[in-house]
Structures are given as structure tokens and as C-alpha cells.
Amino acid sequence: MFDSVHDSIKIMQHMLQQDVNFNIEHKTVRKGRLILYNVNDYYFKFTILTKKDVIKTYEVPYPYKILTTDTSVRFSYKIQDLVRKNHAKELLARQFEPVSNKLYDKYLLITATDT
């Protein structure tokens, strides 16, 4: 399982030592130079260096789906990706009270910036 995780985020290797933005939907939640990333248990751990020379870590749970391009990685936390487009399961999942999580039913987009 973790081999497929590492294969799907190989683009992250090219983003190391580059400025990146972490966006949830259209809102920027973190930005800085990507120093290190690690997959540990069920979490991705990103270490970034901010513009104020402060090292911060940002942990996100393993997503339901990972999509990559040349300059970005999109982690999907959408319910429709969890249930793999099974409409009956999606209706059942949406009956539960949503958890108070910033990533609930959203995308996290990690983009390398040119600056």
C-alpha cells in the first residue's frame, strides 16, 4: 500500500526546496519552502520554512484519492472519492453528522510557485 502512496506523490520530490502553497479549496492555509515530506502511518507530514525563517510542520491525514500534475498535487477528501462513486453509499455517508475538520469533503491542493 505504501509503495503506491510513494509512487503517486513522486512529484513531491521535485517540489523539495521550492516555494509551495497549501490551499484548501481556494483559501491558502500554509505557504513556504518545502523542506521535507514524510508518510507516517496514516498521515502526511510536511516540513516547511516560512518567509519569517520559522520551520513549521503541517500534518494531514491520508486522502481518499491523490491526483498529480507537473506542478501540483491534489489530495481529495471528498466523500464521493471515499465511496468511489457508489451513490447508495454516498447517501448513507452523508446522513452522519459531519466532523469539525477543515478538510471534510474538500480538496487540499499543494502547488509549487515560481517565486
Determine what percent of the chain falls in helix, strand and coil, rounding each to the nearest 5: 20, 45, 35
Residue 3 has pLDDT above 80, yes or no: no
Comparison of pLDDT for 8 and 66, the residue scoring more:
66
Per-residue model confidence as pLDDT tens digits over 49-93: 999 999 999 999 989 888 888 889 999 998 888 888 788 887 777
pTM: 0.83
* CA–CA distance, 80 with 93 (Å, rounded to integer): 9
- How sure is the predictor about 36, in pLDDT bands with cuts at 50, 70 and 90? very high
Residue 2 has pLDDT above 60, yes or no: no
